[in-house]
Structures are given as structure tokens and as C-alpha cells.
Amino acid sequence: VNICLTCSHTVQHSLSQLCAVMVKHETPDRWPALLQLLNQSTKSSNSHDRQVGLLLLNKVVDSNPEPFKPHYCQLLQLFSTVLQDHNNPTALYYCILTLTAITAYTGSEEMNQMRSIIPSLIIALKHLIMADQDQASEAMEVFNELMESEVSIIVPHVADIVRFCLEVGVECLDSLRVKALSCIAFLIKLKSKTVLKQKLLNPILQAIFPVLTAVPPAGEQDPEDEEDDSGDGTDNDNPKHCAAQVRKSFITIIDTMALHMPPEKLFQQVMPFAQTCLASENPYQRKGGLMCLAVLAEGCADHIRTKMLSSMLQTVCQSLSDSNQVVRSAGLFALGQFSEYLQPEVSKYCAELMPLLLGYLSSLNQAKAGHVTKAFYALENFMENLGSDIEPYLPTLMETMLSALNNTENLKIKELAVSAIGAIANAAKELLVPYFTPVIESLKGFLTTTTEEMRSLQTQSLDTLSVLARTVGKDVFSPLAAECVRLGLNLTDTIDDPDLRRCTYSLYSAVSTVSPDCLTPHLTAITTVMLLALKSNEGITEDKTFVLLDDDDDDENEEEEKDAEDFLEDETEADVHDVAGFSVENAYIDEKEDACDALGEIAFNTGHLLYSCICLVPVPALQKLLDVVLPCFLETVRTEHERQVVMGVLESMNGIIKSCKEEVFRNPSRLKEVSHVIRDVLKKKCLLLVFQAEYDAMLQEFAGEGIPLVTSSVPADQFAPFLNDLLPLIMSKAKSSCTVADRSFSVGTIGEILDALVNVSGGQRVAGRLSNRLLPVLVAGVKDSDPEVRNNSVFALGCLAQAAGPIVVSDYPMMLSVFSNLLAKESDLRVIDNLCAALCRMIMSNVDAVPLEQACSHFTPPVKLIFNITMNLYSLQTQPITKIWRFCSLFCLLSAENQNALAMLMKELAQHHLADFQAAVSSLPAEQQAKLSAAISAL
């Protein structure tokens, strides 16, 4: 080992790497000569020896950090000294890399030492930047590792780190700037409150906007802004210039702010910058302002929808008519973002926006590919939420899309048109039937292609075919169902492509909604492929990071590197710690997600699935399937790092519980497993990379939706212990400080849980025990400023009354008083209708506890309440129908107009339930009987 100190640079690297391999199998404590050499060399007065010692230390520690843990405190003392050696940048470089390697393994005993190193680390990085920016870019990873492993170490130094990264982000090479800006974005994700508290938001914005809005150097424009754009429109996702990556990084920071910071505080500081840009004569400043508005739409959706949609949308619409294509391109992107995230409110501006979008698509062959891509993006997101409002535009839209499919040579435009037809179908549904035949004829050639250049168009065609199966109606699509299944099987048999398989899963799932019998002969093959996709490691790449030499020496030392790689071939697969990391291709993640979705829906739609997925006959088919699928789902939720996959799994699991109910929980351990997975998602304890505010809400909604499904599937007393753990997590989102979406989700989920308790064994006891905890939350929700929260709270109160029954009758006066106060000022018809339903449930639970005359006095006309209550009670059908005719006693209290309306309702119901009607009327006083009979006879 001592030879390492005296040999050439190349040999030093080779020997260091050899030692690294040996340390994987021989722990340092059993190799005292290595420790002695490291101790001597790293503390040597000779700068070259220190440099070589730190190189060796880096290689051996990086290869196997954990066995060095007893020496961490000593190493940190060494690092603290080395980081002061500003004249030896190579030593700084290896020191920081070694610090990065041990960060994930440090414990509480090293925390204070780690914190004390941060100021020296920042200064050392500044000196390393001056010496070698490529090495500095690699060394910057230390901040990401610190944030991922133990963010509390850097919290006291957040301001210094942000200022340092902003300096780097403005002044250095593009690759280093991207790394520094990514660090800021990561820090905002993890510690947004600290960033706000230390007043760092404004300095960040001051640094961002000048770079974001600067005119790009010649030849470094964003791809969609270049005059000679002749590509396929995909460059927007992969900018070909480093400068474009830097601008993208600045945009990412604003996007991250929107996802993780309170909208009110963010908008207060970001909007002055954006408005200044939008008012500028410089097109790149106007573009920067529009890009800012665009990325705010996702994270701040509720704030924009409720407080500033009209003004922001007006700004975007004006940009679409701008004289500069740079601005128009940004405006299209912003409109697409608005259409995706600000629904349904943005659809109200259909008359203003559709002509603008159709204008962009009027000359597809002449338009720039980048602009066409953004126009389609905006159009698709906007159309999918129009519903029947799309009808006036349908002829023009379909003529444009069919023309693109049949007359355009550009494959990218064909792909965009196929995708747009799917969006049109989602909105138009049966209105698309007149165009169905020409669409299918156009798609056939794309669906069966085997050429690689057509693959993207083929997969998009499969996706659109799935949408058509769900939207045009069973009568129209059923004749094609069997052919679609055969198509999918043929494609997966002949083409190995995760995107294509993903699309076939969606197609099978769609066919199951139209003609499930067509799947029956093929279910074993179909479900086997999907389960294999969920379990597969395909697409996961090991990062061995076995770099023998510096980049500068690569060319002249290829043989040595090859020899070293051959030396490693006998490493066993079990040595997981040998792998520095794993990367998973997105296509395989998408395949897993769609496999989950499809399994859930096929299980819901296809009873035969239970008998085609098993080989061992003695075991019941359903339980066999559940024993395979559910453990896979639960493990995926706990360990998957991709948020979209987890959401897909939760949605599929909910579908299976909804379909199979108590069968899911026949395995005694499954109720606990499912409940704990739901709990962990709600508590953010799953192994997701980084939680993001907007996606957190979506993820937790998927988890929350599972609670009422489980509630309806098992006896209440059996689920009660788990429900007691889960309810506080749901109730915590009902606080006034939470977002509207969270409050609505909270009280809505509580309502669904209580509704489920109505029909399960022991539900009344459990609901009664919960009533004291839930009543204050729901009453507060009835007084909420948002109509959706009020609506869900009223629904939940009605469900509580029905589920708990006589246990909450003593609370009726308070509940009726709350409803009375609400009615005095409520204008939202949904809330009023739900209030009628709540009163129905209260009356059903105890008809004598509700003063009907007093309740009706609050409605104008009161017959609306009577009609709604009567029809709701009748539809619920949980008590003898004679209870409904209790309302007949109100007849004489009404005005002549309302008496006539009620009489018409009574006559309609009496025709179908004469015996019940006669029994109810006979219970009335003689005078009321006569008046009611006379009124009905007069109709």
C-alpha cells in the first residue's frame, strides 16, 4: 500500500481502487496497515502526501462506508482541518467526496461535528470552484446528501447555503449552475418554512428573474424559440443547450416554491417581479413573466382559481396574439398549465379560448413543431373538461384531426392529433359516434405497425383506442372488443417494449368496461403479464461507479479499466452495498403503474378473473388472486419511490376492496396490513423520495378514499381500533389553517366513513362512540367560508345522525339550529339539496325528533323540502314506506300553490304504492284526510 505514495498519478488511482475492492471484503479494523497509512498520509506536512492519502481515503470509504463508522469522529476532525487547506484544491475535492460518502451513515454522536463543518465546507467549495469547476460540480452533491440524510445538520446554515448557491447559479459554468440551482430547489422542498422565516424568498427571486428573462446568447435559444425549428417538437423536454437547462432550473425553483409555500406569501413577493416582466417591451422578459405564471398554476391552483383566475387568464390570452413568437410560445405553455390545473373554473372561458386554440391549429403543416406541440397540449387539457360544451366546435376539431392523420407526413403531428382525438372523445362521448368509423380506419394502420420509428405513434393510438372504448358507448364499440384483445396479445408477443405493454394493459381494462366476456379466454395470459411487470426488475440499472482513473486519463488507460472491470465480474449479486445506486427507466415505472390500474379495474368488471388466474384448484380462486395481488400492492406502496406508481396502486387497491368487499379481509392479517399502509401514507411515512404539497394531497386522498371502503367491508367493531388511529389523521386536515382542498377532503371522508357505518354490523355503536369527537369538526365545517366544505359537512352530519341513530338524538336541536342558521344565508343549491338529504337521514333515524313544521318554515317554497325529503326517504328504502306519509300532515299548513304541488307528488307516489298511501292517509285526522283527498281528486 505504501507504494501508493511514490508512484505515478495513474498508478495511485489504480492502487486506491484496488484497496477499495479489498475493503469490501476485509474490514479496515482487520487491516491495520491501511489505517496506519491513512493516518500518516492524511496528516502529513507534505501536501502531495496529504493529497494521495485523501484520494486513498475517499476510494476505500466510498466503497464501503459503514465499517469505518467507529472512526467517523476522527474523520470529521480531519475534514475540519483539510477544509482549511485552500491552496490544495485536490485535497479539498477528495475530502468533500469522502464527507459525502459517510453522511448517510452518521448518527447523533456526529451531528454537532457535522454542523460545525458547514461554514468551512462552503468556503472550501468557493476555492474549489476557482480551481476546477467540474470537480466543484461533483463536490456540490454533498449538500443534496446532507439534505436527504439529515437535513437538521444544515438548518442553522440555510441562509449561507442559499446565498452561496445563488452566487454559483449566476456566475459559474452552466453545469455547476444547474447543480447549485437544484440544491436550492431541494432545500425549498424540505425546508420552505425556514426559507420564508429567514426572509430568503426575495433574494432568491431577485437572482432568478434577471437570468430567467435575459436574452439568450446567439445559438443558445430555447429550442421552441429558434427560427429554424424543424425538429419533432420533443426538444422542449430535453433542451439541447446548457443555457436552456439553466433557465429550466430557475423555472423549477419557482415551481417548487408554488408546490411548497403558502400561496398568499408567495404571490405577495413573486407577482411584482412577474408583472414587471409582463409589462416590458423586451419579448424575453414577457416570456419570463408568462413562464412564471404557468408554473404557479400547479402548486397554487386553489389560490388562483378563487382569487385571480380572470386577470391571469386575460394576460395569457393577450400573449397568444403577441407579435413575437417567443411570447406566443410561452403563452401557449401557460394556457396548457392553466387548462390542466385550474379546472373546472377555466372551462367557463370556453368562448374566448377555443377560437384562439383552433386558430393555432388551422395550418398544421406550416406551423413550427414546438408551437404545435404546445398548442395541442393546451387544447387537450382544455377540451377534456368541456363535456357537452364541446359540441359547437366538434366539426371543426374532427375535420382538423382527421386531416392531420390522413394528409400530414409529419409523424409528430400525427401523434399529437391521435392524442387530441382521445381528449375530444373524453369530452364529447357519444357525440363522437358520427366520427367513430373514420377515426378507427385512420388508426388501423398505426396500431399494427412493427417499425421502430412508428412506435410512439402506435402507443398513442392504443391509448386513444382505450379512450374510445370507454366513451362512445357499448353498442358502438362492442363489435371491436374481441379484436382489440387479440391485437394487444399479438403486440406483446411480438414486441418487447414497456410503453407498448403499458398501453395494452389500459386497452384490456377499457374493454372490460364494454365487453368483459371478450377477456375470459385470455385472462390467464393477460394477468400473468401484468403481475410479472409489477414484480420485474427490468429497467433497473445498477450504478457501480467503478471509475479507475480521472476523466483526463480515460483515453490512454482503457486497457487498465477493462482489466479492473473483468476483475469485478465475480462479484455476487447479493452484494447490494457494492451498488452505489439504482436508476429506473420511466417507461418501466409507467408500466407498473398502469398494470396496477388495469388489474384493479379488470377485477372490478370481470367475475371470471377469479377462476382464470389460479392453478391450484383446492384453494378458492378469489383468495388465491388476492394472496398474489394485495401483498404486491402493499409492498409497492411502502417501498416505491415514484409517486405516480403509488397513487396508481392505491387506486387499484381501492377498486379491489370496493369490488370484493369482505373477501379481501378473510385473511386475518390483511385488515391490519391495509389499515397500516393507509396510515403510513397519511402520515407521510412511505419511502417516497420527497413529498410535494400538491401531490401529497392527491396521494393522501387516494389513501383516504380507502377508509370508507374498508369500513363498509368488515364488521365495525373489528375495524374500530384501526379507525381510531386513522380518524385523527383525517380530522387534522379540517383545521381552518388548512387549504380548502384539505378541509373538503377531511369532512367528505368523514361523511363517507359514517355513511359506510350505516350498513355494517355494529356500525351504530361505533358511530355513537365517535359522535362526540366528530360533531365539533362537522359543525365548524358547516360554517366554513367555502361552499364545497359546507356541502360535505352537511352531508357528514346527516350521515352521523343516521349511523349513530338514537345515540345522537339529544344533539338534534343543536344540529337543526346549525342548519337553520345556514339556510338563512346559504345560496349554493348543492348545499341546500344536501341539507334536505341530511334532514331525511335525521327523520329516518327518529321521525318524531324533527319538528317538521319548523323545518319547512325555513324553505321557500317549503314544498322543495317536502319533495326532496319524500323522494330521498323513498329512495333509501330502509324503513316501512308508511313513515314517508308523515309529511301528509303538513298539507294543511301550506299555501294553495304549494298544496297543489304536494298533491301532485302524493298522487304520483300513490299510484305506485296505493296500500301504503291509504295506510298513511288513514292515520290523519278526518279533516286533513278530506282536504288531501279532495286536492288529489281535483288533479
* Total domains, the chain: 2
Q: What mean pLDDT comes out for the span 519-531?
A: 80
CB-CB contact of 801 with 844 (8 Å): no
Of 551 and 464, which is predicted with more confidence? Answer: 464
Mean pLDDT for the stretch of residues 20-49: 68
- pTM score above 0.75: no
**What is the distance between the alpha carbons of residues 370 and 205, in angstroms, rounded to a whole number?**
28
Query: Does 642 fall in a domain?
Result: yes
Residue 241 has pLDDT above 60, yes or no: no
Reported as a single tens digit per residue, the pLDDT across 676-723 is 999 988 887 665 444 444 456 778 888 899 999 999 999 999 999 999
Identify whether residues 847 and 735 lie together within a single domain.
Answer: yes
- Identify whether 263 is preceded by a cis peptide bond (ω within 30 of 0): no
Angstrom distance (rounded) from CA 96 to CA 114? 12
Share of the chain above pLDDT 70, in %: 75
Range of the domain at 762: 729-860
What confidence category does residue 879 fall into, taking pLDDT thresholds of 50, 70 and 90?
A: very low
pLDDT for position 649: 83
Q: Are 71 and 110 in contact (CB under 8 A)?
A: no
Confidence band of 480 (pLDDT split at 50, 70, 90)? very high
Asked if the structure places residue 504 within a domain, the reply is no
Q: What is the dihedral of CA 858, 863, 864, 867, to 10 degrees?
A: 130
pLDDT at 830: 82
Boundary (domain end) residue, out of 819, 838, 860: 860
**742, 845: one domain:** yes
Where is mean pLDDT largest: 146-150, 199-203, 379-383, 646-650? 199-203
User: 264: which 3 cell numbers?
Assistant: 398568499
The grid coordinates listed for 332 are 401557449
pLDDT of residue 514: 87
Spatial CA neighbour of 247 closest among 291, 204, 206, 278: 291
Q: What pLDDT score was predicted for residue 651?
A: 84
Q: 217: which DSSP letter?
A: P
**From CA 918, how far away is CA 290, in angstroms rounded?**
69
Nearest to 839 by CA among 861, 860, 854: 854
What would the mean pLDDT of 200-226 be, rounded to a whole number? 79
Task: Let me know if residue 880 belongs to a domain.
Answer: no
> What is the pLDDT, as a whole number, of residue 930?
81
Least confident of 34-48, 70-84, 186-200: 34-48
Domain end (from 680, 714, 748): 714
| pLDDT confidence of residue 323 | 86
C-alpha cell at 313: 387568464
Q: Which residue has the higher pLDDT, 336 or 50?
A: 336
935: pLDDT strictly greater than 70: yes
pLDDT of 610 strictly over 50:
no
Residue where one domain finishes, among candidates 860, 887, 903: 860
Asked, for residue 445, whether it belongs to a domain, the answer is no
* Residues 741, 688 within the same domain: no
- Give strand pairing partners of 541: 583
Lowest-confidence pick of 566-570, 577-581, 609-613 = 566-570
Residue 851 counted as domain residue: yes
In this structure, the answer to whether residues 764 and 691 fall within a common structural domain is no
Quick one: which H or E segment has residue 581? strand 581-584
* 735 and 852 part of one domain: yes
Q: Give the per-residue pLDDT at 672.
A: 93
Give 154's DSSP letter: T
- pLDDT confidence of residue 320: 86
Does the pLDDT value for residue 650 go beyond 60?
yes
The CATH number assigned to the domain holding 838 equals 1.25.10.10
- Selection from 47-56, 270-279, 317-326 with the highest mean pLDDT: 270-279
Measured from the Cβ of residue 502, the count of other Cβ atoms closer than 10 Å reads 26
HEC readout, 825-860 = CCCCHHHHHHHHHHHHHHHHHCHHHCCHHHHHCCCC
Considering the domain architecture, whether residues 629 and 659 belong to the same structural domain is answered as yes
Which one is predicted more confidently, 540 or 825?
Answer: 825
Separation between Cα atoms, residue 143 and residue 103, nearest integer Å: 10
Confidence of residue 270 (pLDDT cuts 50, 70, 90): very high
Same domain, 651 and 750: no
Res 771 pLDDT > 50: yes
Least confident of 316-330, 447-461, 643-657, 796-810: 643-657
User: Are residues 664 and 640 part of one domain?
Assistant: yes
Higher pLDDT, 4 or 588: 588
Q: What is the pLDDT of residues 142-172, one digit of tens each?
A: 988 888 877 788 888 999 999 999 888 776 6
The confidence score (pLDDT) of residue 585 equals: 53
pLDDT for residue 625 is more than 70: no
Q: Once rounded to an integer, what is the mean pLDDT over residues 269-280? A: 93
Lowest mean pLDDT among 407-416, 546-555, 782-791, 855-864: 546-555
Q: What average pLDDT does the segment 286-292 reach?
A: 93
What are residue 581's phi and psi, to 5 degrees? Answer: 180, 175
Nearest Cα to Cα of residue 886 among 859, 906, 901: 906
Is the pLDDT at 434 greater than 80? The verdict is yes
Same domain for 630 and 672, yes or no, is yes
The mean pLDDT value of the chain amounts to: 78
Can you give the pLDDT at residue 824? 78
Residue predicted with more confidence, 569 or 107 = 107
* Helix H or strand E encompassing 541: strand 540-543
- Give the pLDDT mean for 52-68: 78
> For residue 71, what pLDDT band results from cuts at 50, 70 and 90?
confident
pLDDT band at residue 220 under the 50/70/90 scheme: low
pLDDT of residue 44: 73
Check whether residue 674 and residue 758 sit in a common domain: no
Q: Are residues 664 and 743 in the same domain?
A: no
Nearest residue to 614 via CA among 633, 627, 600, 596: 627
Report yes or no: 55 and 16 within 8 Å, Cβ to Cβ: yes
Measured distance CA(718)–CA(489) in Å, rounded: 43
**Where is mean pLDDT largest: 39-43, 744-748, 829-833?**
744-748
Residues 841, 790, single domain; the answer is yes
Q: Considering the domain boundaries, does residue 94 fall inside one?
A: no
The answer to whether residue 703 is domain-embedded is yes
Q: Considering the chain, what percentage of its residues have pLDDT values greater than 90?
A: 26
Give the model's pLDDT for residue 686. 61
- The H or E element containing residue 584 is strand 581-584
CA distance 934 to 913: 19
Q: Residue range 332-338: average pLDDT? A: 90
DSSP 174-207: HHHHHHHHHHHHHHHHHHHHHHHHTT-HHHHHHH
Q: What is the pLDDT of residue 238?
A: 44
- Per-residue confidence band for 570, with pLDDT thresholds at 50, 70 and 90: very low
The three grid cell numbers given for residue 821, joined into one nine-digit string? 342558521
Confidence of residue 496 (pLDDT cuts 50, 70, 90): confident
> What is the pLDDT, as a whole number, of residue 693?
45
In a domain, 687, yes or no: yes
Decide which of 231 and 401 is more confident: 401
pLDDT at 905: 64
pLDDT at 250 (0 to 100): 81
Amino acid 608: pLDDT: 41
The answer to whether the beta carbons of residues 266 and 192 sit under 8 Å apart is: no
pLDDT one-digit tens code per residue, 885-918: 555 555 555 556 556 666 766 676 677 667 777 7
pLDDT at 896: 61
